[in-house]
Amino acid sequence: MTSRPISLAHLTVLDISPPELVTVAAAAGFRTIGIRLTATPSVGVPPYDMLREGPMLRDTLARMADTGVSVLDTEFLRFEPDQPIGVPEGFLEVSARLGARYVLVMSAEPQETRTLERFGDLCDRATAYGLQVGLEFAVYTGVRTLAHAAKVVAASKRANASVLIDALHFSRSGGRPAHVASVDPALFRYAQICDAGPDMPRPDDAPALIREARTGRLLPGEGVLPLAELVAALPATVPLAIEAPNRATAELPALERARRAHRALSTLGGAMP
């Protein structure tokens, strides 16, 4: 077992606000977090008022200062073919104010040329704020596999561009730990971890895949994914963020869910303060 930085992704406890996330993460033992800055109406969570100067942002920054919790990444951006503006106003500015290291993006663009064009533009804009960009892939998006994501990132020729492996999406797209070796290790900056059961939705059943991703993830050790092998295949310094929302535990207090997540991720990848 290696010792890596570990982080609590907001989706694991998305029912709590960013300031509460800081407090809960600190109490559960996490030193870093991921914050979702954009609205998530599809999972019943109202938008948090984080993209402008206001009480929510100030409270989040104050709690970070009090607890020492830092921000690994901010979520999430998505390139939609019918929405030319892919970065909400204030997203990069607030990400930088929070001290985030990465911003996460997915693409629903059906044409790779458009994904590459928009990804390159995002990387250029993020550079001005000292931010890196992680391209996440999923079989139901415009960038479907690890190989596809690595191709786009390499083609972008941006130093702040990286590939984000989400263990669930990686598995559901046919990924195996051995496939990681085919990608330049420098393209991996952090990874998202969860477990999953043996009953995989069909690759062409996007609604079922999305439901699983949003409400059906398991904690490491509760499912069948080869997580230890996946973690071992990644560069030794890559932080692990746990993203494991599950409808079966949604009624538990957020702190209890965060504590369980911390225990499971620490057992898998080690915990580095």
Residues 122 and 160 sit within 8 Å (Cβ to Cβ): no
C-alpha to C-alpha distance for 128 and 178, rounded to whole angstroms: 36
Give the Cα separation of 74 and 96 in Å (integer).
10
Burial class (CB in 10 A: 0-12, 13-18, 19+), 69: buried
Q: How far is CA 238 from the centre of its chain?
A: 13
Amino acid (one-letter) located at 168: L
Beta strands in the chain (DSSP E): 6-9, 32-36, 70-79, 102-107, 132-136, 161-166, 188-193, 240-242
Neighbouring-strand partners of residue 136? 164
pLDDT in tens, the chain (273 residues): 447 899 999 999 999 999 999 999 999 999 999 999 986 545 555 678 898 899 999 999 999 999 999 999 999 899 999 887 778 899 999 999 999 999 999 999 999 999 999 999 999 999 999 999 999 999 999 999 999 999 999 999 999 999 999 999 999 999 999 999 999 999 999 999 999 999 888 888 888 888 888 889 999 999 999 999 999 999 999 999 999 999 999 999 999 999 999 999 999 865 444
User: pLDDT at position 44, please?
Assistant: 54
CA distance 9 to 74: 9
**Closest to 196 (Cα-Cα) out of 228, 212, 218, 213:** 218
Name the pTM for this structure.
0.93
To the nearest 10°, report the CA torsion of 262, 265, 266, 267: 130
Contact 177, 233 (CB under 8 A): yes
Return d(Cα 9, Cα 105) in angstroms, integer. Answer: 15
Predicted local distance difference test score (pLDDT) of residue 40: 57
pLDDT of residue 141: 93
